[in-house]
Structures are given as structure tokens and as C-alpha cells.
Amino acid sequence: MAKHQRGQRLLPESEVEEAFRRLKSHMPGRTATAKGPKDQPDPFRSVVSCILSAQSLDRNTAAATNALFALVKTPDELLALPDEAVAQAIRPCGLYNMKTRNLKALCRTLIDEHERVVPQTREELMRLPGVGRKCADIVMSFTFDADVIAVDTHVNRVANRIGITDEATADRTAQALETRAPAWAQRDGHFWLIQFGKAVCKSQRPRCETCFLNDLCLFFSASKVVVTEAVS
């Protein structure tokens, strides 16, 4: 199977739009029960959970958030909790010392600069300690219902494989999707792409032969060229 190579030809706008039409038709999209990151009930806990999820498996993030939120519910409560207690609670998600520092700095910033209210814009969210582009977009999409395509591992892989984007990092892919994805696809695009990445365009052994996008996909087209050259 051919590997994606950066610098490939991008799909034209008309084909990007067609790709999203098909994704909308085949993938379930945003469900009625979609809530904040890791099912947290409010913006503060959504941001905290998102920070804890960095380089962590979902089950480990869930264990860490459940343990932490059994102890605290607000920025003031988390800030008052000793560092050792925070680190012990979030230990399952890894990098717990660094994440403890980020969480304490997050709470101090929310209290001092935002009247304990989580901001809703990407720019303000990304100024919060521990919050990068991916985390900001996830909070915006899930918690504040913004029309934004948050880019995780699956979305990054799929968008670049197909040829919707052609970027080296997830943050750059997110920036490209802002302009490359049609406006009507911004709301549910994250859901279609991530569901597609999990069910069809898997990291290992993608289901290219039966994929509903294979006539558009640059990755599949390159794969056929490789096979043809090998046979000849």
C-alpha cells in the first residue's frame, strides 16, 4: 500500500465538496447526545478533561477525570487542592506532574482574567495554560456548539490521505480545513471524518477497495499506480 507523501496534488474544490457530500450521506455525524469532551457537563470540566486527554488513552483519561472530579468541581476547589493530591488523582492519564502544573495555572488564569468563566473563542482558549489548537477546537465544537472541524489523529490522517488537505501537522490541517471544507460541512465535518477514519480509512489496512471515496482519493490513486508499476 502506498504511503501518503506531502506535496501531493490537492483535490480541487469541487471534489472536496463531493467528498463531504458522500461523507454526510454515509456517516452518522453529530448525534443528539453529543456532549462536552469525555461527556463532561460544563465548560470548565470539559477543558480540564481535554487537557488530561493529551497523550492518553480514553480509558485512562476517564479514570483520571473521574478521580479528579470526585474531589473538585470548580477552579477555586482545584486550585486549593494540594499538588500532590491532584497528581495522584490524575496519575492514570500520564504526564501527571506537568498536567498538574497546567491545571493549576489554568485555574489561576480563569480566576484572575476571566471571572471563572471559560472563554468561547479559539484565540482566548489557546491563551489558557495547557490548551492547544486541538483542545480549543474540541471545546468550541462540543461544548459551545461552534461550527469548527476539530482535528484529532483520525481526522488528520483521513483529510491528508484523501487529498482534502496536505499538511505536516494536525494544527496545520485544522487551519487548512477552515478554508478547504465547505461552510455547510464545518459543523459536522469532525464527526464524519472521525467516524470514517475509525470504520473505513483505518490507520492500518484501510478498506480502500470498497470505500465510497476511492474514485476521489489521492491515496488510493497512488496505490494503484504502485501496484501497476510492480506488476509491469
- Let me know if 152 is a catalytic residue: yes
Kindly tell me the burial class for residue 12, based on how many C-beta atoms sit within 10 Å of its own C-beta (0-12, 13-18, 19 or more): exposed
Under 8 Å between Cβ of 194 and 134:
no
Catalytically annotated residue among 39, 152, 171, 202: 152
Greatest C-alpha distance within the chain: 69
- Cα–Cα distance, 100 to 89 (Å, whole number): 10
Catalytically annotated residue among 38, 104, 134, 137: 134
Under 8 Å between Cβ of 56 and 152:
no
Helix runs in the chain, H state only: 13-26, 43-52, 58-69, 75-80, 83-90, 96-113, 122-126, 133-138, 153-162, 170-180, 189-199, 218-231
- Let me know if 134 is a catalytic residue: yes
Under 8 Å between Cβ of 168 and 151:
no
How many CA within 13 A on the CB side of residue 10? Answer: 15
- Cα–Cα distance, 82 to 222 (Å, whole number): 55
Q: Which residues are catalytic?
A: 134, 152
